[in-house]
Amino acid sequence: MDVAATRAPMRLVTGLAVALVILAGLAPVLPSYVVILMTEGLIYAIAAASLDLLLGFAGLASLGHSAFFAVGAYTTAILVTRHQASFGAALAASIVLAAVASAAIAILVLRATGIYFMMITLAVSLCAWGLAYRWVSLTGGDTGIVGIPRPRVPWVGLASGTLSFYYTVLALFVVCLALYLLLIWSPFGKTLVGIRDSESRMRVLGYNVFLHKAVALVVAGAFAGLAGSLYAYYNGFVGPSAVDLAHSMQFVLMVIVGGPGTLVGPLIGAFAITFLEKMVSVFTERWVMVLAAAYVVTALWAPRGMLGLLRAAR
Amino acid sequence: MEFWVNQTFNGVSYAALLFLLGGGLTLIFGVMKIVNIAHGSFYLVGGYLGVALVAATGNFYLALLGAALAVAAGGVILERVFLRAVEGDDLRQMLLTMGIALFFQDACLLVWGGDPFNLRGPAYFAQSVKLGGFTFPILRLFMIAAAGVLFVVLWWFQEKTRAGAMVRAAIDNAEMTEALGINVPILKMAVFGLGAFLAGVAGVVGSAFMGIYPGLDFEILPYAFVVVIVGGMGSLSGAFVAALVLGLLDNFGKALFPEISYFTLFAPMAIVLAFRPTGLFGRA
Amino acid sequence: MKKHLVLALVALVAAVVLVPAAPAAEKPPIKIGFIAPKTGNFAQFGLDMLNGFKLYLSEIDYMIAGRKVELIEEDEGATPANAVTKARKLIEHDKVQLMGGLLMAAAAYAVAPVVQEAGVPLVITVAASDDLTQRKASKYLARVSLTGGEHGHVAGDYAYRKLGWRKVAVIAMDYGWGHEVTGGFQRVFEELGGQVIQKIWTPVITTDFGPYVASLKPEADGILDVVTGAASIRLIGELRKAGVLDKKKVLAAGTATDETLLTALGDTALGVLTFLPWSQALDTPENKRFVERIKQVTKKDYVGFSGAINYGAAMWIAEAIRQVGGDVENKEKFFQTLRATEIKSSPRGPIKIDKYGHIIQNIYIRRVDKVGNLYQNTVIETYPSVSQFWKYNPEEYLKQPIYSRDNPPCRHC
């Protein structure tokens, strides 16, 4: 079973283009808090979509994705605050280091499959938290690293810091989205889906399953690193909470809520969860209940996530 | 000498707590193959109910039984009403149990507030036994006894009874078990209830040992996972051995090399899984 | 009857004549943003903060200098990132004139630059970490809560002079609060001639203190305990069960026996000595009145310190607003006045601010006692007007790095 994307790429591309135009056009007239949350939504969308490459396309449900996200975030924080790195340099270094970290972790975790893969990545995530917390000279320990200024990107005619940063993130989001689409439409993407559906069949067909999975992990890690870098700029600080289990879990939930294996689903999931948490909490103390209800309802009545697109029922 | 005896005893009692946490989860894991994120909530609710029941009845053992049974009943209902609807889809199960966990987290905060409680056991829980110059706190002895008794009972049930044989069969191959005419849905419900019961017991005993407060549900969840995963899903003996090894490792790690205390539980887990992807006693 | 009518007429005329003359009534409300956790592990703490803060505001009917006060509460949640997002919301969307609250030190560090950039005064009402008002002090920030080093200094002095300790073993949580209390303690204690012979750092999530308690060095005269929250119940329980509390005294950072923990601690904590800028049992008219009033709100026997210090924070903020005549729009003047504002009596005692933005306040040595059916932190000694720099010269002090795991180094371990 293939992805909807391959069947109707034109429709998908048109839909995404319309969505992007709306995202870009609406921002100047929306209240600033909404723009702030949209920025966060976009950053999480990049991260959630990268996890979807693993979870939805390669069948690797990783609970350790925040580790790579955090490598990106910490790299940016350290380079910007201690070495005055430029936006481009910090971004590039974050992507590379996150990819390197994923490659190293891949060797450790890829023998496990299914729930065991989930659990070994969970262990990785918990150890990564320990490192972020304890390696004080590098990470700043529990208080983390503060004082990361927003990148200065000269958008014509934009004074507001919030809006200008939003467009920066949006531009990078578009680039990532294009790359994601190329990736899942490529033969590599198709092979990943094949591995997800039947690892043994692909092995018999002569594919190097391990290598494919490892490459998927590295690519996803690189994108997560990019998202992490933006996250550091967004918050102006990085601390161990960027790498804790709750954060990893949040990425997974974004993918499931949106609809795994659809790429577009996780984008929706990222926005939905960000707004559910940070918007509902403005209005009620019981926002956790609202979030809980949203999860339960989605799980029970939206079997393929909010997007409701194709997904092989297991 | 005193150091080694004390630390070994501490480690074993900590292992008992880990087994209580992980024992229920491993049964649920094995039979139902679900990542039950709400397991920590069962513990939390069990603990709070225990506190309330101790206050109401004044009897620790009555509270222990009552709280655990209530949690078990809740588990059965959750399985029937919610989990059955998403059977076979591990991602949706995760989402669902996450929702349930968040619900209980907030509900407990609403009902019991956020101040920590300490579950008062019988007066002798605060005392110690002196044996050959060493001091053994009774609460820790009780934890070891509780874990030991539960392990023996569960092991006997799983290995020696007909129902236990069904559970083992369901762990190995659910479809085959169904084909043999065993009512697997009922079996799953029962196992989920049993798992929740054990989490409730752990909640009450754990609260006597370390108190209870909001957030504990997600604090202890990784510990339960560690025991299950290192031991191998569905393997009771595996969970027992894993709890013992991890409890001692964690204890001596912390006592001898406090620098690495953040990694004493989870690094072993990662290493075990890297070399034996299905845990120490797990079957692929 | 007629007299009343006349009076009423006079009042009416006066109102008609005077009200338009009071421009303050025309002004929009003063917006105060307040960030505190309402969900997650620290939810109760955050709710207590709000209870205290709002109690004072309700006592003055949310009116200061003729202007209405609008309090906008935001949930800090469990992560600092949340606090930053909410701070941005309060600044950009609600356009608050002052921001208060903040529990987690990490959140305060993260929020401070955001607030600084926007030029909005930030009054930290709980978060304790030295550098917020020391090496990373920022212009628009003031703190009316407490900090680690400040408390450690007092404890070091008390342990050496009053308890007569010469060798101390420390068991402390492995994060800022633990490091700074321990660091401050060690500096003062060792300068007086004492020795810290052991430092045990416990992870923030520690389910079992058994291994740590069993490895405490027996030759220590006493134990410094810097473990807070629910973990404190486990540690003190373990110290009691292992017999340590029967043999020697334990001096603990005050949050370890906060009133909200006393029920859960029960008899295990009896006799534990602690240090904090407040106690429910503090015997002053101002405090007794506060305790009585807050109990009507919370319906609990025990009042946590976060409620008390936030009540004081609200008093102090209101006093500053009064002194500028409600003109909070003049940011520079308002902020200068805020920092210069002094209060002679609040539930914890007098409040004033040093030039780095941190409070100068009394720190009390307390002992856990049982009076009737209730436990309390009996005040047994007062260190008046303690500066965050203790008796050191601030400039000299700030040349040294912040207290950490290894600063001061453990020379006698």
Predicted pLDDT of residue C24:
46
pLDDT above 80: residue C234: yes
**What secondary structure letter does DSSP report for C403?**
P
Question: Average of pLDDT values for A37-64?
Answer: 92
| Alpha carbon C145 to chain centroid, angstroms | 3
pLDDT above 80: residue C6: no
pLDDT above 60: residue C243: yes
> Angle at which helices A9-26 and A161-185 pack, to 10 degrees?
170
The answer for residues whose C-beta is within 8 angstroms of residue A206's C-beta and 6 or more apart is none
What residue ranges in A234-305 does DSSP mark as E strands?
A: 237-238
What is the torsional sign of CA C111, C114, C117, C120? negative
| Cβ within 8 Å, pair A292-B102 | yes
* Domain regions of chain B by residue span: 24-218
Is A118's Cβ below 8 Å from some Cβ in B? yes
Cis peptide before C20 (omega within 30 of 0): no
Q: In this predicted model, what pLDDT tens digit does every residue of B204-237 receive, in sequence order?
A: 999 988 889 888 898 888 888 888 888 887 788 8
Tokens 């043994």 sit on residue = A200
Do the beta carbons of residue C108 and residue C102 sit within 8 Å? Answer: yes
pLDDT above 90: residue A48: yes
Question: Average of pLDDT values for C126-148?
Answer: 91
**Strands laid side by side in the C122-124 sheet:** C63-64, C67-75, C30-36, C98-101, C122-124, C141-143
Predicted pLDDT of residue A308:
67
Percent of chain C with pLDDT over 90: 72
Predicted pLDDT of residue C151:
96
Beta bridge partners of C382: C364
* Domain regions of chain A by residue span: 32-243
Tokens 């762990």 sit on residue = B171
How many Cα atoms occupy the beta-carbon half-sphere of B222 within 13 Å? 28
| Cβ within 8 Å, pair C44-B114 | yes
Nearest CB to A281 within list C75, C79, C109? C75
| Cβ within 8 Å, pair A33-C89 | yes
**Cα–Cα distance between A166 and A40 in angstroms, integer?**
9
Closest residue, chain C, to A274 (C-alpha):
C82
**Cα–Cα distance between C288 and C345 in angstroms, integer?**
12
Closest residue, chain B, to C405 (C-alpha):
B259
The answer for residues whose C-beta is within 8 angstroms of residue A219's C-beta and 6 or more apart is A50, A53, A99, A183
| Cβ within 8 Å, pair C229-B220 | no
End-to-end CA distance of chain B: 42
Closest residue, chain C, to A243 (C-alpha):
C79
| Cβ within 8 Å, pair A127-B270 | yes
pLDDT above 60: residue C380: yes
ipTM of the complex: 0.87
**Cα–Cα distance between A119 and B277 in angstroms, integer?**
10
Predicted pLDDT of residue A310:
40
Predicted pLDDT of residue A5:
44
Q: In this predicted model, what pLDDT tens digit does every residue of B41-99 receive, in sequence order?
A: 999 999 999 999 999 998 999 999 999 999 999 999 999 999 888 887 888 888 999 99
Q: Is C222 helix (H, G, I), strand (E, B) or coil?
A: strand
* Strand C195-202, strand C167-173: pairing: parallel
Give the containing element (helix H, strand E) for A74.
helix A65-83
Is A281's Cβ below 8 Å from some Cβ in C? yes
* Residues of chain C positioned with their CB less than 8 A from the CB of A143: 105-106, 109, 129, 176
Residue-by-residue DSSP string for C260-304: HHHHHHGGGGTT-EEEES--TT---HHHHHHHHHHHHHH--S---
Question: Average of pLDDT values for B172-182?
Answer: 78
pLDDT above 90: residue C11: no
Nearest CB to B82 within list A300, A313, A314? A300
Predicted pLDDT of residue C377:
96
Closest residue, chain B, to A131 (C-alpha):
B262
Question: Average of pLDDT values for A235-245?
Answer: 90
Distances (CA, A) of C327 to B49, C66, C342: 52, 10, 18
Nearest chain C Cα distance for residue A30, angstroms? 11
| Cβ within 8 Å, pair A253-B95 | yes
Q: Kindly indicate the confidence band of residue C2, based on its pLDDT and cuts at 50, 70 and 90.
A: very low
Q: Length of chain B, please? A: 284
| Cβ within 8 Å, pair B118-C242 | no
| Cβ within 8 Å, pair B13-C44 | no
**Cα–Cα distance between B185 and B195 in angstroms, integer?**
15
**Burial class of residue B180, CB neighbours in 10 A (0-12, 13-18, 19+):** exposed
- Reduced 3-state DSSP string for A102-150: HHHHHHHHCCCCHHHHHHHHHHHHHHHHHHHHHCHHHHCHHHCEECCCC
Nearest chain A Cα distance for residue B60, angstroms? 32
pLDDT above 80: residue A158: no
Do the beta carbons of residue C97 and residue C321 sit within 8 Å? Answer: no
Question: Domains plus CATH for chain C?
Answer: 24-146+284-357 (3.40.50.2300), 149-276+362-399 (3.40.50.2300)
* Strand C249-253, strand C273-276: pairing: parallel
